[in-house]
Structures are given as structure tokens and as C-alpha cells.
Structure 1
Amino acid sequence: MAQQAYVTETDNPGPAPERPGTRLRRLASRLLDGWRGDPRVWRRGLVLALLALLLALVMVLHAHVPNRIGNLGSLTETFLPWLGVFIPVLLALALVRRSATALIAVVLPALVWLNLFGGLLTDRTDGGGDFMVATHNVNADNPDPTATAQDVASSGADVLALEEVPAADVPVYEKALAPTYKYHAVEGTVGLWSKYPMTDVRAVDIRLGWKRAMRATVATPEGPLAVYVAHLPSVRVKVEAGFTARQRDRSADALGQAIADEPVKRVVLLGDLNGTTNDRSLNAVTSQMRSTQGASGSGFGFSWPASFPMARIDHIMVKGVDPVSSWTLPRTASDHLPVAARVNLDTTS
């Protein structure tokens, strides 16, 4: 009898484990129960649907947002990736409103955003590279320039550019970087440190009246490399004038012309351009050079502000050089993150 009872108990093991697919179906059923038979499901949420369509249009037609009023176009383009934050908000509101129309409309800005920025979500870095460069806006009010210099030097970059270097701190940076870099030059508030000899060092006139850009020819093992360092003027958001960037835009045009006239075939630009590669006002530069972050980086590479990076205004751009990888370096005492890249100077290999 004991054996028979045991067999009877094991013959009825209880309900089978619920499959994941069944759980999802039950959850979807609960969410949509209130939608079935609701005649207003298509009429509700029309305002949300219009907002979703407007968001998609802004992202698609951002180049046509006018700059005449407070440089609104450049402001939109500077923070263009962040428009994607509104997509999950609209999605949540559509679900709360139980609006099928709004739900369908939200798909459009989602697809546009993925088309514009989806590629940045993937890792585009590659191994190798025969030359490493780095750049850092060290901040004129940096409380610890020695530690900042040592931090960026530890990256192993062959060439390092610094921007916003006050005259009083130049000896501090020179002393801190001397063990790593045998050659260096400073022009105004920008400087270049190199492990290889530099020639033809000179300031670049970017129409400011003071020195915030320079160039040098670096004698790399693969041949001459023209390295530009630039710190374009800051942009401001003012109540009475909006997003003001006229001086930055003039300097960008001057920098672009200098690079276009550069006789050396291989060119690297390092610096703080106070704008993103989406900003049309930087076209004089971006139209002729490749962003290492855009071509071979991982993620968006936001560099400013360091406490919560929201935009990539610190750049490494190349011409006649193959970018291999690009990334941000750990935070220093500056309000910017340093950025670095590895490139192939020998483009024939």
C-alpha cells in the first residue's frame, strides 16, 4: 500500500512551470484589457501624436532650424542626441492615455533617432594604431595643474595638446610633463607636448586678437604630421540674445581655412571647439576632417561638463590619417574630460 501511495503522489506532480512566453502574453493581456472595445482608443492622445511628429521633424530637419533668432539652430544641433530623451516620455504618456494613435506616432521619432545616432551605440573601435594623440582643456581655474598634467601624461599619448593654460601655470605644466615629453611649445593659452621633434611651430590666426590656436609639424616615425591645437571662443546662452556664438563661428571659419591651406598631407586637429560635429557653424572644419570619435569611438564620447557630460565639444579630427579608436580619459581637476585617440599614420598598410 505504501508503494502504491507513493506512485499515486508522484503521478500528480502539480502544475507545470509557467513559460516566459506565457507570462509576457498574460502581462500584455492585462495592459490591453482596458483598451479592448474602447471606441476612443484612436481619438485620444492626438496632442501627444502631434508632439511625436514634431519631435521627428526637428530631428530630420535640424539643419533648417534658423540661426537668425538667437542661433537656435546651432543650439538644437549641439544637444541633438538629447532629444531622444523625449521619446520614452511620450511613450509613457501614450500608455497612460491609452492612445493607440500616440503609440504609433512615437515609433516615428524613435526610428529617426536610431537612424541618426544608433550607430554610436555600437563599439566601433579597432585594435592597433601606430600613433596616439590626446587633448585636454585643463581649465584656467584648475586647482591642481600638476596632478592634471600627470594624469593626462599617464595615458601614453605620443602627442598631447592642452588648452586654456594660463601664463602663470605654464611652468607648472612644463615641469610636470617634462619626464614624458622631450619637446613642447606654447602659443598664448594653448600648448603642444610631443615625444618627437617639432618644427615650423607658429600661432594660427583665428581672428580673436590673442593667441588661442597653433600648429606644428611633428617628425613621427612615419613621416611629418601637421598638428593643430585650437580653443575656439566660448558660446553663451543669454536671455536677451539667446545662444550667442558669432565670434566662435568666425574663428571656426578662420581655422578651417588654415587647415585647408596646410601643405602637409597628414593633419590632426586637437582641441576644444565649443561645439559638436552636428553644429553647422563648424562646417569649415568638419567638412574636410573626420572625427575620430564618430569614425572609431565607442558611445557618444561626451566631454563636457566633466561632472555630467552632455556634449562632445572637445575633439580629435584627422585628415589623411586613419582613425582606429577614440575614447574619453578619466576625469581630472578640470571641468572638461580629456579625450584620446589612436590612429594609423601609415595609411598604405
Structure 2
Amino acid sequence: MAQQAYVSETVGDGKGPKRPGSRLRRLAQRLFSGWRGDPRIWRRGIVLAVLALLLALVMLLHSRIPNQVGNLGSLTETFLPWLGLIVPLLLLCALIRKSATALLAILLPVIVWLNLFGGLLFDRTGTGGDLMVATHNVNADNPDPSATARAVASSGADVLALEEIPNTAVPVYEKALAPTYRYHAVVGTVGLWSTYPMSDVHAVDIKLGWERAMRATVATPKGPIAVYVAHLPSVRVKMAAGFTARQRDKSADALGEAIAGESLKRVVLLGDLNGTMNDRSLNAVTSQMRSTQGAAGSGFGFSWPASFPMARIDQIMVKGVEPRSSWTLPRTGSDHLPVAARVKLDTSS
């Protein structure tokens, strides 16, 4: 007589491997235990709901926040993406309070944030390009300018802009970059190095009283382009005065006016603008040029401070050319990260 084999299975003994799905279900059950049939879930968390609505309004109407008092609008716009970090905190509080009203309200800032910055979460980089450009605020107090110069030169950039170069360090940068770049010019505290010939080099008046911006024509194999290098004045956050950016704003207007009067159709702006693309005070520049990071980058591309980047204030902007890719370079001895981009000059095809 054939002997039957019986297979027994132990279910739910707690000794077998736990599936991730079951863990999530148990967590959800614990979080939402006691919610069903409790009418108070709609009455609790009204304060949280109001805070969520206010957060959504700040992000949605950031351009309406006045700058008259401490440049509050520009300050908000500088760190606008980081307001999204408030959402998880509100969500946690809503779960603890067991408030359905707060949970629904939190959807609003989520939708607004995704509308503003959701596109930056995806990789927009392309391939190809006729020219690679890079810019770096090297920091006047850089402990090793020679190493910094070699690092950015090794990126392969055809055109390199440097800002915040002290007079005493100019020979150091010139010597370190000479093997890579045949042509260069330094105007005040900014400089431009190129593998292609340069002409019509001159300072750009950004209403400072000293030279922190320049312009040059670079003769690329695809034809001439106008390259601007600028280091706009720094901004500070002070308890008494708020976001002190008046001089930066004045210089941005002057830079925008110079670019608007440019005779060449293809223009590249490299530099430390001490402001983000969301900052309305840079409209004189941003309204007529495209950010390579926004058009062809991956992520937010934060460049400052180098130790923990929180804002992209170092910019590569273009007009009359097509951005193909944009990225940050490895950290150097500066407090800024270098940024680079590859652009297509021949846009006829």
C-alpha cells in the first residue's frame, strides 16, 4: 500500500521571513487604528490644516511676497525648494493627531511643490554639444589655488571662468592653467580662460566702483560667441536689516542691461550671481537667458556652500544656444562647487 506524504505548513508563527508588504500593512494598521468610526478625525488638526494651507500659499504666491521689508521675498525665493521639507513634518503631526482634515490639506503644498520643482527630480541631460563651459568662484581665501586651478582644468572645459581671484593669486592661476588654455584674460577679480582665441575683452560696468564683470568674444569652430563673466555682490541675512541685497540687485540690473545690448546673437553668462533663478531681483538677467541647469541638468544642482550645498547661486546661462547637459564638479579648496555645462552652438539642425 502506497504511503501518503503529508506536508504541513506553519503559518504566522513569527519565525519565518517577513515580507515588506506585510510590514507596511501592520504599520498602516497601527497608524490608523482607531480612525474608523471616529467623527473627531475631521475636527482634529485644524491648526495643522491651516499651516498646510499657508505653506501652499507661500510657495504658490512667492512672487507676491513684498521685498520692501528686509527683502523678504528674495530671501524666501532663494531657499524656496527647501520649504518642501515642512511637508513631512506636517504629515507626521497629522498622523499623530489622527486628523483626516490635516491629511487632506497637506495635499495642497505637495501639489504646489511638485508643480514648481517636480521637473527637477528627473534627469534632463542630453548628449552631444559643441562646447563645454565651466565656472568657479575660487574663494579669495583658497588655501591651495594651484590645486583648485588644476582640478577645474581637468574637467575638460573649453572655456573656463573664475571669480573672486585676489591680485596676489593671479600669477598662480595663470601658471597652473597655462598648459590647458592658450588664451586668457583677467579683469579685476574675474578671469576667463579659453582653448579658442579671444578678442574684444573689456570690463562690464555693474555699478560697483571696481571691476567684477567682464565680456569677451570667443572664436569657436562654430563661430563667435559672446562670453560674460560676472561676480555679483554678496548678500547677507542680518537680524536687524533682513536680507541685504540692494547692491546685488543694482548690479544685476546693470548686467542685464549690458547683455540686452549685446550685438552677438549667441551669448553665454558664467559666474557667481549670488542668487537663484527663483529670485525676482535677477529678472533683468533671467528674463532674457536660460539656465543650463534648469534646461538640461539633473536635480537642483546646488553649488553653495560646498560643505552642504543649499542653493544654486553659481550660474551658467545662455541665449541663442541650446543647453545639452549641466552638472556640478567635485569640490575644491573653495566654499563653492564648480559648475559645468555642455551646449550646442549650431542650432540650425
With the length of structure 2 as denominator, give the TM-score of the two structures: 0.96
1:40–1:286 distance in 2 versus 1, CA, 3 Å: same
Deviation at 1:28, TM superposition (A): 2.7
SS of residue in 2 equivalent to 1:9: coil
Shift of 1:177: 0.1
How far, CA to CA, are the matches of 2:40 and 2:105 in structure 1?
A: 16
Matched with 1:58 is 58
- Change in 2 beyond 3 A, CA 1:14/1:83: same
Letter in 2 for 1:36: R
Structure 1: state its 5+ residue gaps: none
What displacement does 1:37 show? 2.4
Question: Could you tell me how far 1:240 is from its partner in structure 2?
Answer: 1.4
Q: Deviations over 1:178-209 (max 9, x none)?
A: 00000000000000000000000000000000
Structure-to-structure mapping, 1:238-277, within 5 angstroms: 238-277=238-277
Trace 1:1-349 onto structure 2 (pairs within 5 A): 4=3, 7-10=4-7, 12-15=8-11, 24-349=24-349
- Cα deviation for residue 25 of structure 1 reads 4.1
Q: Secondary structure at the match of 1:193?
A: strand
Going from structure 1 to structure 2, the CA distance change for 1:105 and 1:158 (only over 3 Å counts) comes to same
Distance 1:268 1:45, change over 3 A: same
The one-letter amino acid of 1:188's match is: G
Residue 38 (structure 1) shift: 2.0
Per-residue deviation at 1:14? 4.0
Secondary structure of the residue aligned to 2:41 is coil
> RMSD of the TM alignment (CA)?
1.5
Spell out, residue by residue over 1:113-149, the C-alpha distance to the aligned partner (whole angstroms, 9 max, x if none). Answer: 0110010000000011110000000000000000000
Structure 1 counterpart of 2:294, one-letter code: G
Q: What is the alpha-carbon distance in structure 1 between the residues aligned to residue 97 and residue 30 of structure 2?
A: 15
Give unpaired runs (5+ residues) of structure 2: none
Q: What percentage of aligned pairs have identical amino acids?
A: 79
Amino acid at match of 1:201: V
Alpha-carbon distance change, 344 to 69 in structure 1, aligned in 2, over 3 angstroms:
same
Q: Secondary structure at the match of 1:179?
A: coil
Q: CA deviation at 1:40?
A: 1.3
**Match of 2:207, SS?**
coil
> Across the two proteins, how many residue pairs are aligned to each other?
345
Give, in whole Å, the separation in 2 of the partners of 1:26 and 1:237: 46
The TM-score with structure 1 as length reference comes to: 0.96
Q: Secondary structure at the match of 1:41?
A: helix
Task: Report the secondary structure of 1:40's partner residue.
Answer: helix
- Separation of aligned partners in 2, 1:198 and 1:52: 53
**How far has the Cα of 1:19 moved from its partner?**
7.2
